[in-house]
Amino acid sequence: MAVNRRGAVGVHLGVKERPRLIPSSWASASIDRRGVLLGVAAIGGFLAVDLGTVLYARGPIGSNGRLTPQAFIDAFRRVYGLHPGFRRNHAKGVAVAGYFDSNGNGVELSRAAVFRSGRTPLVGRFSLPGGNPTVSDSVSASRGLGLAFGYPGAEQWRTAMLNSPVFPDNSPQGFYDRLLASKPAADTGKPDPQAMSRFLAAHPETARAMATISRQPPTSGFGDSAYHGLNAFFFTSATGIYTPVRWSLAPMASTGAPAPPGHGPNLLFDNLIRDIRSGPLRWRLLVTVGEPQDDLRDATIAWPPERRVVDAGTVVIDSIDSERRGNARDINFDPMVLPDGIEPSEDPLLSARSAVYAASFRRRAGEMGSPPAVGVNEVAQ
């Protein structure tokens, strides 16, 4: 208690009081060994529980062997390398805008304002899957279309679609394992066929889905592709009735046309840019109504073709721009951003997509990236 005694002397001499490690005010308490031990034990116990809970919730304690958003970010980096500023998946893309002309047919199923007769502006982004922002286009590659109806309003509807009729995976673990199995080998530059066959043997649902996907050969480009929302959702009507649905976009341009001339790494995007310059591209927004026997939790299974389909209107894309600050580049096409009148199903992919997209968006939003590979103004008229 030398510090205290000195402090007391200091006060006596009128020297300005300064804070000490052990405050002199504590001298008024009778401190004994038991009290010190009790205090230290209680504080230690509290801090252990408190900080332990934080480390358990945030990781890494107890997170080993469990899939986390960070595990996906790491896996994309392992397979595709690090590309700051770009999406971790669907890194290569182009921003578009247009509108949705609703014919009012969707109102029967959903009270969402977007389905009332009338026009809702939208922004979107065409993309290629994978984390490489400079990957070369190929007609066989699958294609993505993200849309944000009514962006940036409070009643927005965001959706991230693919041109395949079903999704290859029905669980986050399946997606993760497939991603790693598709990693190109260092020597050949191609995925290890053994790793992929091992994966498919362990994931029969993916093998089935791949067969379904291969029965629908890809079209010549972005503009004549159909796009599918893949996961099931619920539409809720004005009277509160829940209807399980999946949605898709059916192209109004002719399909199966011979591939337009064009070569080079941006073949698909260059054609899309020319298409939109020459006139708006249109799709029918089709809402497929699920039946009780349809599995709402499994995006690998196509619903039977006899399911009722409601044509809700026309999606029109009439402008295109390179990805830049403030356009679709800066939108996270999180499938859980939904208006009143659309609700998520119990499909486990939905929550996982939302979590991983958020992790990707958080990282890339804070990074300075290189310019996008697709430059709209670089494409000749």
Is there binding between residue 217 and other proteins (CB under 8 A)? no
Annotated catalytic, 203? no
- What is the contact mask toward other proteins in residues 67 to 106, using x (rule: CB under 8 A)? xxxx------------------------------------
What value does the CA radius of gyration of the chain take, rounded to a whole number of Å? 28
Instruction: Give strand pairing partners of 158.
Output: 148
Given the residues 83, 90, 203, 228, select the one marked as catalytic: 90
Cα–Cα distance measured from residue 132 to residue 270, given in angstroms and rounded to the nearest whole number: 18
Residue in 5, 6, 58, 277 binding other proteins, rule: CB under 8 A: 58
What tokens were used for 6? 């000195």
Which residues are within 8 A (CB) of 45 and not within 5 positions of it... i.e. 6 or more apart? none
Q: Which of 65, 62, 44, 40 is closest to 53 using CA atoms? A: 62
Per CB under 8 A, which of residues 142..161 are in contact with other proteins?
A: 148, 151-156
Asked if residue 180 binds other proteins (CB under 8 A), the reply is no
| 3 state DSSP class of 321 | strand
Residue 46 CB, shortest distance to other proteins, in Å, is 5
Nearest to 111 by CA among 264, 247, 291, 235: 235
Instruction: Please identify which residue in 8, 9, 46, 194 interacts with other proteins, judged by CB under 8 A.
Output: 46
- Binding residue for other proteins, selected from 129, 265, 280, 348, defined by CB under 8 A: 348
| Contacts of 119 by beta carbon, 8 Å cutoff, 6+ apart | 99, 100, 101, 102
Q: What are the two backbone dihedrals, phi and then psi, of residue 130, each rounded to the nearest 5 degrees?
A: 105, 160
> CB–CB of 367/174 below 8 Å?
no
Q: Is 239 in the site for other proteins (CB under 8 A)?
A: no
Closer to other proteins by Cβ: residue 57 or 259:
57
- Give the interface with other proteins as residue ranges (CB under 8 A): 17, 19, 23-26, 28-31, 35-36, 38-40, 42-43, 46-47, 50-51, 53-54, 57-59, 63, 67-70, 148, 151-156, 172, 325-326, 329-332, 334, 336-337, 340, 344, 348, 350-352, 354-356, 358-359, 361-362, 365-366
